Amino acid sequence: MSWWKRDKPSVQTPAADRTVRTEGLWVKCDECRQIIFKNDLEKNHQVCPKCGFHFKIEARARLELLFDGPFEEFDKELRSTDPLEFVDSKPYKARLKQMQSSSGLSDAVISAHGKLDGRDVNICALELRFIGGSMGSVMGEKITRAIERSIAHREPFIIISASGGARMQEGAASLMQMAKISAALMRLDEVHVPFISLLTDPTTGGVTASFAMLGDINIAEPGALIGFAGPRVIEQTIRQKLPDGFQTSEFLLKHGFLDAVVPRGELKAFLSRSLDFFVDRA
């Protein structure tokens, strides 16, 4: 006979509900191919704890990493007007609207003011998700205004670059921003206010050919791709095989184009020491 008697019929849990769901909890490193727990990656500032590979992060995350606390944003209302009525696979206006909706930004740069280790600084951080971080008229205006605020208040200025270069949808209006920002940086230099340029992966095209390489100190994150033209274009032009590691931040440091390569977790401390150096000698 049965020793136990069920008063109620058993309820079978569906197989799908009995499965432990791990989707989104793990990330594979692009460099060492190891599987990383997502929480560990976030705690390490999106740097692989196994091999040190630096994942791309958003502009706002970079600002939160460097500022001591809350920061003030400027010129959020500025938006491109599509002066050329440009159309490629879709109208430029439609592309802008899509990017603004998905990123929550008006354009590919955040201009902010806050404190870095207690010191007032202005920082412009480029957003790669917004049309590849490309430089258009709005980016040029926002960066120029940030430089002018640094001049007016004699506060250090930092640019964090992550860009594919000039924005082709704005044509010559985009290329003009190279000269516009460079002229503003010259005025900043004339009043002896420091400018530090941080180059991240990738920094290419007209951004590299202008403000990204004009810092009093030019630094980069490990493994960042930095250059003007792409390696395939260069090889086809000069008809030579490029050296291993060409256009990486370590290659540029070795050949004198950068002052330092700084891991993400050490950036804030490095920037603070660098600004102390400038202030002590001002």
Q: What is the DSSP string of 31-72?
A: TT--EEEHHHHHHTTTB-TTT--B----HHHHHHHHSSS--E
| Domain at 57-280: CATH code | 3.90.226.10
Residue 24: per-residue pLDDT: 75
Is the alpha carbon torsion for 200, 205, 207, 211 positive or negative? positive
In the three-class reduction of DSSP (H, G, I as helix; E, B as strand; rest coil), residue 248 is classed as strand
DSSP state of 261: E
% of the chain surpassing 90 pLDDT: 88
Delimit the domains of the chain by residue range: 26-55, 57-280
Residue 192: per-residue pLDDT: 96
pLDDT digits (tens, 9 = 90+) for 220-233: 999 999 999 988 89
pTM value? 0.90
pLDDT digits (tens, 9 = 90+) for 42-98: 999 999 999 999 999 999 999 999 999 999 999 999 999 898 999 999 999 999 999
- Paired with 126 in beta bridges are 109
